Amino acid sequence: MSGRAYLGWFLGVVVTAVVAMVAFNAFADAYLLSTPKGKSLQTVSGFERVLKPAWLDSIKPDTVFAGSSRMREGFDPTLLDPALHLHSFDYGLSSISPYEARRLIQDSAAQPSVRAIFVSMDAFASTAAVARAGSGFDELRLAVTASGQPTPRRSLWLFTTRYLSGGALGMHALSLYLLAQLKSGQPASDRPDLFTAYSRMTQTGFRKDLAFRYGRQMAWSAPARREFNLALDALCNTGVRAYLFFPPDHFAMIARYMANNADGLLSFKHEVLHDVQRHNVRCRGKVSLFDFLTLNDLTRETIGPAGSNSYIDLIHFRPPIGVRLARRMLGNNDLGIDLTAAHDPDNEIDRLKNDVAAWRAAHPEIQPSGVAPRPEADKED
């Protein structure tokens, strides 16, 4: 065979595949961003590091919910937007590192349309010394570089992300499949088998998850704290209002955090509060800090035979709870503590010790002393 014929076949295969891929991705992208049901895809795992930076750029939201998989699962714009009159975007990432959390906040703050950012503080809770371990996290797609400068040639990178990447191909195919499974007018909440953010923790799941996360702590390290302060710096001179919160993990889990490293958790909360207070003194862009990681109506839920109303598992709450949390942070005082408005916020934080003692006394069966600690294996939070 001649070199020319070889080239003809070679290029024919490449060009055909590329044209087909671009056409499919362009069609899928346009459809997903225009159909109302498409918003619920933001709660599905897999899209985070592939398409979310491009979606953020296209959707131009006024409100961003950024952070870990707690945010990804818990805040569905399909529910939030009509309930709170928002144009929101779920920027939650699985297995987020403190470095990534900072970069997402920088990215969100650099979008001209964004007016408010909600962030769950567990994204910065990392005792690992590595504050910068994120697999496949591609910063070229973000609006700003790590030093806060506009990302060079960003539109080119977004174009290739959207239309020329294998990740986009896979995620677009998955999206179309998921949406095709919904009947006309059927919301994502009706299909928890597909949209797992709407599934419910069962009694069995509760016990298994407690054993699974038995050794877990919530604390942070010096590098993680540095990342948090860099994130605050990104908000300092913007008109963006930030709402930070300690997430409402189920109290069985909070009790484990306290059993495993009470000092670490309490220091984490006090230090975040201190950093936020210092930020609010010197910066134009103000930050509110809420504490839902307390004993409250939500976190003390007893799981009935029909499963949990609020939780997917011990740390992930369901999207209706996300609406409740957002409403609370925007002014409806029904849950948790607004630490930035509290009279004695440090004391409010320290009350957790009493809450844990009370909860343990009331639920001796949930903390069986015979359960052996096991190493943490999951990264999905």
Partner 1 sequence: MPFNSYPYIAFLIFAVGAFLLLEAYFPRARRPYLLLLSYLFYAWWRTDFILLLVGSTIVNYTIGSEITRRHAKGWSTHVLLLAGLAFNLGLISLFKYDDLFVGTANALFGTGFALPHFFLPLAISFFTFEQISYLVDASQGKTRLYSFLDYALFVAFFPHLIAGPIVRYNDLIPQFHESRDTQTRDTDIAAGATLFTIGLAKKTLIADNLAPFADAIFGSAQHGVALGPGDAWLGTLFFAFQIYFDFSAYTDMALGSACMFGIRLPFNFNSPYKAASIIEFWRRWHISLSTFLRDYLYISLGGNRQGSVRRYVNLMITMLLGGLWHGANWTFMLWGGLHGTYLVINHAWRNVAGRFGWRPPENLAWASHAASVLITFAATTFAWVVFRSPDLASAGNVMRGLVGGGSSHLVSFSPLAAGALVVLFAVVWFAPNSMEILWAYRPALEPPRGTSQVRDIGRWRWQPSRRGAIAYGALCVGAMLALSNLSPFIYFQF
Residue ranges binding partner 1 (CB under 8 A): 1-14, 17-18, 21, 50, 128-133, 135-136, 138, 140, 156-157, 160-161, 164-169, 223, 375, 377
Whether 214 and 207 have beta carbons less than 8 Å apart is answered as no
- Name the minimum Å distance from CB 115 to partner 1: 30
Q: Which helix (H) or strand (E) holds 245?
A: strand 241-246
For residues 97 and 310, which CB has a smaller minimum distance to partner 1 in the complex?
97
For residues 158 and 289, which CB has a smaller minimum distance to partner 1 in the complex?
158
Exposed, middle or buried by CB within 10 Å (0-12, 13-18, 19+), for 311?
A: buried
Please give the span between the terminal C-alpha atoms of the chain, in angstroms, as a whole number: 55
CA-only gyration radius of the chain, Å: 22
For residues 248 and 264, which CB has a smaller minimum distance to partner 1 in the complex?
264
Q: Token digits for 357?
A: 């003692």
Closest CA to 255 of 265, 268, 269: 265
Q: Token digits for 107?
A: 């990215």
- Name the minimum Å distance from CB 76 to partner 1: 26
Task: Please give the distance of CA 291 from its chain centroid, rounded to a whole number.
Answer: 16
- Name the minimum Å distance from CB 71 to partner 1: 23
For residues 68 and 199, which CB has a smaller minimum distance to partner 1 in the complex?
68
Cβ count near 174 (within 10 Å): 15
Calculate the alpha carbon distances from 63 to 110, 114, 137, 242, 279 in Å.
13, 6, 22, 10, 21
Q: Token digits for 205?
A: 């799941």
Whether 322 and 331 have beta carbons less than 8 Å apart is answered as no
Whether 115 and 109 have beta carbons less than 8 Å apart is answered as no
- Name the minimum Å distance from CB 380 to partner 1: 15
Closest CA to 241 of 79, 62, 92, 72: 62
Closest CA to 92 of 132, 122, 60: 122
- Name the minimum Å distance from CB 157 to partner 1: 7
CA distance 3 to 234: 55
- Name the minimum Å distance from CB 147 to partner 1: 13
Q: Token digits for 224?
A: 């993680």
For residues 137 and 311, which CB has a smaller minimum distance to partner 1 in the complex?
137
For residues 13 and 357, which CB has a smaller minimum distance to partner 1 in the complex?
13
For residues 130 and 357, which CB has a smaller minimum distance to partner 1 in the complex?
130
Closest CA to 242 of 281, 290, 298: 290
For residues 215 and 320, which CB has a smaller minimum distance to partner 1 in the complex?
215
- Name the minimum Å distance from CB 219 to partner 1: 15
- Name the minimum Å distance from CB 298 to partner 1: 33
For residues 127 and 186, which CB has a smaller minimum distance to partner 1 in the complex?
127
- Name the minimum Å distance from CB 23 to partner 1: 14
